[in-house]
Structure 1
Amino acid sequence: MTISVVIADDQRMLRAGLRMVIETEPDMLVVGEAGDGAEAVAVARRLRPDVVLMDIAMPRQDGLTATRTLLAQPGAPRIIVLTTFDTDENLYRALRAGASGFLLKVSSPEHLITAIRVVAAGEALLDPAVTTRVISAFADRPGPTPPPELGELTPREADVLRLMARGRSNGEIAAALTVGEATVKTHVARVLMKLRLRDRVQAVVYAYESGLIRAGEPPDGPRA
Structure 2
Amino acid sequence: MSAAAGTDAEWTQLRSVSAHGRSLAVAPRVEPITVDVCTTDPLSRAGIVAQLLPRPEVRLLTNPDSEARVLVLVADAVNDHVRVQLLRAQCTSGTRTVLIATEIDAEQLLSAAECGVGGVIRRVDVTAEHLVDVIISVALGQGHLPGDLLAQLLSEVGRVQREVLSPRGLHATQMSPRERDVLRLMAAGHDTASTAAALSFSERTVKAALHAVMTRYQLPNRTAAVAYAMRQGLI
Counterpart of 1:218 in structure 2 is none
- In structure 1, distance between residues paired with 2:137 and 2:177: 29
Q: Normalising to structure 2: TM-score of the pair?
A: 0.72
What is the rounded CA distance, in whole Å, between the counterparts of 1:134 and 1:204 in structure 2?
11
Residue pair 2:121, 2:145 contacting (<8 A) in 1 also: no
1:68 alignment partner, one of 87, 106, 118: 87
Q: Which ranges in structure 1 are unaligned for 5 or more consecutive residues? A: 34-42, 214-224
| Deviation, structure 1 residue 178 | 2.8
1:136-186 deviation per Cα after TM superposition (whole angstroms, max 9, x unaligned): 112322244234xx52x4432233233334444334433442334443233
Q: Deviations over 1:6-54 (max 9, x none)?
A: 1111221221121121111123222139xxxxxxxxx3xx221111111
TM-score using structure 1 length = 0.75
Q: Following superposition of structure 1 onto structure 2, how do residues 102-121 of structure 1 map, counting pairs within 5 Å? A: 102-106=120-124, 107-121=126-140
Alignment of 1:207 with 2:232, yes or no, is no
Q: Which one of the candidate residues 61, 66, 70 is aligned to 1:51?
A: 70
Q: Sequence identity, in percent?
A: 27
**AA in 1 matched with 2:66:** L
The equivalences for 1:144-183 within 5 A come to: 144=166, 145-147=170-172, 150-151=173-174, 153-183=175-205
- Match of residue 58, structure 2, among 17, 22, 28: 28
Deviation at 1:207, TM superposition (A): 0.8
**Cα distance in 2 between the residues matched to 1:208 and 1:134:** 8
Q: Is the 8 A contact 1:6 1:31 kept in 2?
A: yes
Shift in CA distance, 128/187, structure 1 to aligned 2, threshold 3 Å: farther
The count of residues paired between Structure 1 and Structure 2 equals 197
Which shows bigger deviation, 48-57 or 126-135?
Answer: 126-135
Q: Which residue of 1 aligns with 2:211?
A: 189
* Cα separation, partners in 2 of 1:65 and 1:31, compared to 1, 3 Å: same
In the alignment, the residues of structure 2 paired with residue 158 and residue 91 of structure 1 have an alpha-carbon distance, to the nearest angstrom, of 21
CA distance in structure 2 between the aligned counterparts of 1:202 and 1:15, rounded to whole angstroms? 26
Contact 1:5-1:49 within 8 A present in 2 as well: yes
**Counterpart AA for 2:40:** D
> 1:100 is matched with which residue?
118
* Distance across 2 between alignment mates of 1:104 and 1:127: 8
Q: Would the alpha carbon gap of residues 139 and 113 (structure 1) be closer, same or farther in structure 2, given more than 3 Å must change?
A: same
Q: Give the Cα separation in 2 of the matches to 1:166 and 1:131.
A: 9
Which residue in 2 is equivalent to 1:15?
45
Q: Is 2:76–2:103's contact at 8 Å kept on the other side of the alignment?
A: no
Measured in 1, the distance between the counterparts of 2:215 and 2:134 equals: 24
Note the alpha carbon deviations across 1:182-201, whole angstroms, 9 max, x for none: 43233223332333222221
Give ranges in structure 2 of 5+ residues lacking alignment.
Answer: 1-30
SS in 2 for 1:159: helix
Match of 2:117, SS state, is coil
Q: Distance in 2 between matches of 1:102 and 1:175?
A: 26
Q: 1:114 to 1:165 in 2, by over 3 A?
A: closer
1:88 maps to what in 2?
Answer: 106
